[in-house]
Structure 1
């Protein structure tokens, strides 16, 4: 059989291109996010635009919760107040920053709340609903059309996205995602699990540990009632505990990386890779995996904690119960020292000429 050789010039071209690709660093889609935020604000009425707008340092930026609307008052513009066209612009804002995976989880949590609303209304009809797709609020912090530093937030039951744009960088933490029920037990959507991967990958990693590794990883036989670094509690964990990644074998490190990626890749492709670069730059060996809850059929919890990452997962009994099915998930994804882009903002203020004060 006659063989054909590629021209040398093409081979050289491929080599150069690959070298260039290796050197090229991912860039966050700042322009796209900015355009989506500006479009959302411009699509609102003057009254709603004022309602949706806050300064970057407004206390509302850190005032988010996983509680239902009847237990925690939100500010901004709710989906209930938006027209269909305005809701489309809101979804465009979500899509500008989230990956397809993250967008489906986000909207899945919102849809799950609609199912909770239907179940609650069957049990006890009320004029003040606790749940529902309408009860999620969007706020814009700063002016995306003019400011180099600004942000946006989506806040509602079991869902809080906190996005900060600083120059050409994007901070996406803290993020809270939860689901109740974690697995729908009946009805049209029976078997549906919005956060199945976070659950199953965590259990898979724990199951892979040998007896010696488990002795280090287990921090309690009983799981905590909730994630520790939830709303207003971002600084509760100082020192990583549990099993260091340096004690994992190659296959277990792959499981750990897959679990971390499940949270990181809820965001747009380049944002996700930048996030993972920040996590790995601090040293994979410095990341610890911890587990609590060792009794079969009882609540369980895991934590991933390193210099630039805190991930918590908790699967517990339904609210207000101490028995029954373990079917209520809370997760949080944080960055110590850089939640809300704090570290990036400090660097930006020091390095940007227009922020410098003449002496």
Structure 2
């Protein structure tokens, strides 16, 4: 399938103004081959690169956090005050999840696997702790399942067939776009054995079934997906999607750009708010730990609160209530929700959208950073049934030491045990 082109970007800044650091083109911050961030990567695979990073202070701290032994237990769920609100998620008997196609594609994959591959790939159920062992850095932590860049093309294609059957056509193209952009980063830093379009793990939880709960995870650098199915109902979440850089400018996929809607519509919304509402929404005009409260920023997540190993985090509502927005601005919030969730098939998305709209009066919009045309920023849309974050980051492989408008992370969670399909599986319907 051809790579998607999430274009439509029109530069709105004054070209006569000095260019901010945030707007520096990514080609100007690609590291030299001997730069400490990538030195030796051309000689490494995912395993040896992870081992090499353990010798560096910041990645060593991150690696410790991601180790399986530090998974938060028992699972409770993302909340605003430590107490799970019950009865928020209502699932219809048939929400249009293409269960037949997904089951068929998954069964086809199982037919290709050796006994050893099945043993490492199939876990008992979606309640297994391993379902929550996703992580988004390139650091190859907690091996298990199918590592696609260690598999043949038949297995790679079969795994992608499962995702293609699961998601909307737009959603699958976006997933594929994340994979291709990761491969492009590997090309930029001469580290294709570490960063490539197949440096992802697939794990299956339960057996493919038309009625009983089961699911899968697909995760790696800048792309993490948790999918749970129960009959013709599905939950996708938590998810992580990102890109460094956020576009491909050469080769067969030149023109591919990710997250245009999430980036530009949110900025337009913030700029359209009254001064009073902008002030309510703004948590901080500075984006690092010099401005943010202690513990609010860290070198792994930066401003994100919903990343890997944050399943039980308590995050109070912050920012501006969306109920204060004008109707057109509330519609922009709804459009942003759809942009974050368009990997759902259309009918399933409509059910998720109705749940979101039911709680629109309990939804908050929060912003960190300035909001000029070239400024980097963070924002969050948070309700009892939705938690969406968008953040511009410092470079990990690129050399920018402050957030730049070419390195994007997005996180999408379902608070109050919506994550990992728990509310779906545990519900009586």
CA distance in 2, matches of 1:266, 1:237: 27
Is the contact made by 1:317 and 1:327 (CA closer than 8 Å) also made in structure 2?
no
Offset of 1:332 from its aligned partner?
0.7
Aligned length: 319
Partner of 2:424: 344
Of 217, 230, 233, which aligns to 2:307?
230
Give the stretch that moved more between structures: 106-115 or 223-232: 223-232
Measured in 2, the distance between the counterparts of 1:133 and 1:271 equals 28
How has the CA–CA distance of structure 1 residues 67 and 286 changed in structure 2, closer, same or farther, with 3 Å as cutoff? Answer: same
The aligned counterpart of 2:257 is 193
Q: Deviations over 1:311-354 (max 9, x none)?
A: 00001221274237432111111111210011122224xx6xxx
Report what 1:151 is aligned to: 215
Cα distance between partner residues in 1 of 2:197 and 2:317: 37
Determine which of 160, 163, 182 is the counterpart of 1:94.
163
TM-score by length of 1: 0.82
Matching residue of 2:73: none
- Tell whether 2:177 aligns with 1:108: yes
Distance 1:94 1:267, change over 3 A: same
Return the offset for 1:148. Answer: 0.7
Whole-Å Cα distance in 1 between the matches of residues 204 and 283 of structure 2? 39
Whether 1:38 aligns to 2:114 is: no
Partner of 1:120: 189
Q: 1:288, 1:305 within 8 Å by CA — same for their partners in 2? A: yes
Query: 2:360 aligned with 1:294, yes or no?
Result: no
Distance 1:295 1:311, change over 3 A: closer
Q: CA deviation at 1:183?
A: 3.5
Cα deviation digits, residues 41-64 of structure 1 (max 9, x gap)? 122222222221112233221001
Match of 1:330 in 2: 409
- Tell me, which stretches of 5 or more residues in structure 1 are unaligned? 1-22, 352-359
Question: Which residue of 54, 57, 63 corresponds with 2:133?
Answer: 63
Contact 1:60 1:75 in 2 (8 A): no
Which TM-score applies when normalising by structure 2?
A: 0.69
Q: Residues 131 and 205 of structure 2 are in contact (CA less than 8 Å); yes or no, is this contact kept in structure 1?
A: yes
| Deviation, structure 1 residue 272 | 1.1
- Matching of residue 48 in structure 1 with residue 48 in structure 2: no
- Describe the shift of the 1:237–1:100 C-alpha distance in structure 2 as closer, same or farther (beyond 3 A): farther
Per the alignment, residue 390 of structure 2 pairs with 313
Which whole-Å deviations, capped at 9, do the CAs of 1:55-77 have from their partners, x for residues lacking one? 2233221001110044x343210
Q: Does 1:217 align with 2:297?
A: no
- In the alignment, the residues of structure 1 paired with residue 311 and residue 105 of structure 2 have an alpha-carbon distance, to the nearest angstrom, of 29
**Paired residue secondary structure (2:187):** helix
Q: What per-residue deviation string (whole Å, max 9, x for no partner) do you get for residues 153-186 of structure 1?
A: 10110111100113442111101101111244x5
Q: 1:261 aligns with which of 338, 345, 354?
A: 338
CA distance in 1, matches of 2:247, 2:180: 13
Q: Write the deviation string for residues 258-311 of structure 1: whole angstroms up to 9, x where unpaired.
A: 111101212211221121122223x21111111111175553100000010000
Over residues 163-210 of structure 1, what are the superposed CA-to-partner deviations in whole Å (9 max), with x where a residue is unaligned?
Answer: 0113442111101101111244x5446654222221112112111111
8 Å CA contact 2:230–2:424 kept in 1: the answer is yes
Q: What is the CA deviation profile of residues 238-258 of structure 1, one whole-angstrom value per residue up to 9, with x for unaligned ones?
A: 322111111111111111111
Quick check: which has more Rg, 1 or 2? 1
Residue 77 of structure 2: aligned partner? none
Alignment partners' CA distance in 2, 1:295 and 1:199? 11
Hey, what's the Cα distance between the residues in 2 that align with 1:324 and 1:210?
26
1:318, 1:326 within 8 Å by CA — same for their partners in 2? no
Q: Per the alignment, in what secondary structure is the counterpart of residue 172 of structure 1?
A: strand
- Is this contact kept in 2: 1:299–1:317, CA < 8 A? no
Identify which of structures 1 and 2 has the higher relative contact order when contacts are C-alpha pairs closer than 8 Å and 6+ apart: 2
Tell me how far 1:215 sits from its aligned partner: 1.2
Greater alpha carbon shift after TM alignment, 187-196 vs 222-231: 187-196
Structure 1 residues 80 and 25: alpha-carbon distance in aligned structure 2, compared to 1, 3 A threshold? closer
Q: Distance in 1 between matches of 2:216 and 2:93?
A: 28
Bigger share in helix = 1
Unaligned runs of 5+ in 2: 1-91, 288-296
Query: 2:324 maps to which residue?
Result: 247
Q: Give the drift of 1:84.
A: 2.4
**Pairing of 1:133-212 with structure 2 (within 5 A):** 133-145=197-209, 148-184=212-248, 186-188=249-251, 192-212=256-276
